[in-house]
Amino acid sequence: EEINLEVFAQNIVDAFQLKYPDYDLQLEVGVVKTFRSDPVLLSSLFYNLIENAYKYSPAGTKYLKISIFKRKKNMVFIFKDKGIGIAKEELKNIFEKFYRIQNRYNQQGSVGLGLAFCKELVTFMNGSISVKSKPGKGSVFEISLPA
Ligand code: ATP
Ligand code: MG
């Protein structure tokens, strides 16, 4: 169905803002604001990435900027945080099922399935997901879906 990305993303952001008042969530939507997709699948991607950015950011640095824009024939979703980051040698592992990086941030409630699920979902939707990260600086997850 036709999704109004601005309304869709703002609703998700608002829900997380209520759940996590200390979360600084920024949203930026480009000129093309409608996207034909399944809102249930798309929101699952958002939930996992928004939850991760919160969980893997130290108190006081819980920030996420979500940017949505059209690039060629794709809709691009960028999730940029200021969290703990991910070591270079771990980047290839984090989309594996049950893979978690052992640290104090995932001691309470972490299964290691969120990103594996995102990867499967994105593949099912004929898109792609990638990550760039600097330990101690933050991470950028990018999802590209055919528009
Ligand atoms: P689940 O999502 O199943 O509750 P999880 O968050 O540990 O558990 P994933 O979402 O698959 O699992 O993430 C895998 C691992 O990648 C995490 O354990 C964490 O170490 C790392 N990771 C994921 N997102 C981030 C992020 N934004 N910043 C830093 N590390 C991250
Ligand atoms: Mg997760």
- In whole angstroms, what is the distance from residue 28 CA to residue 54 CA? 18
pLDDT computed for residue 103 by the predictor: 82
Point out the ligand 1 atom lying closest to the alpha carbon of residue 84: 29
**Does the Cβ of 56 fall within 6 Å of ligand 1?**
yes
Residue 99 Cα to ligand 1 midpoint, Å, equals 8
- With bands split at pLDDT 50, 70 and 90, how would you rate the model's confidence at 104? confident
Confidence of residue 110 (pLDDT cuts 50, 70, 90): confident
Q: Tell me: the pLDDT tens digits for 57-80?
A: 999 999 999 999 999 999 999 999
The number of the ligand 1 atom at minimal distance from the alpha carbon of 138 is 28
| pLDDT given for residue 100 in this prediction | 92
Does ligand 1 lie within 6 Å of residue 118's CB atom?
Answer: no
Regarding the beta carbon of 100 and ligand 1, being less than 6 Å apart is answered: yes
pLDDT value of position 19: 97
pLDDT, residue 107, reads 65
Give dist(CA 147, CA 131) in Å, integer: 21
> Does 102 score more than 90 pLDDT?
no
Residue 140 clears pLDDT 90, i.e. is over it:
yes
Cβ of 93 closer than 6 Å to ligand 1, yes or no, is: no
Could you tell me what percentage of the chain is helix, strand and coil, using 3-state DSSP and rounding each to the nearest 5?
35, 30, 35
**Mean of the pLDDT values across residues 2-20?**
98
Residue 109 pLDDT: 75
Q: What Rg value do the Cα atoms of the chain yield, rounded?
A: 15
Asked whether 64 lines ligand 1 (CB < 6 A), one says no
Structure ipTM over 0.85, yes or no: yes
Mean pLDDT of 33-48: 97
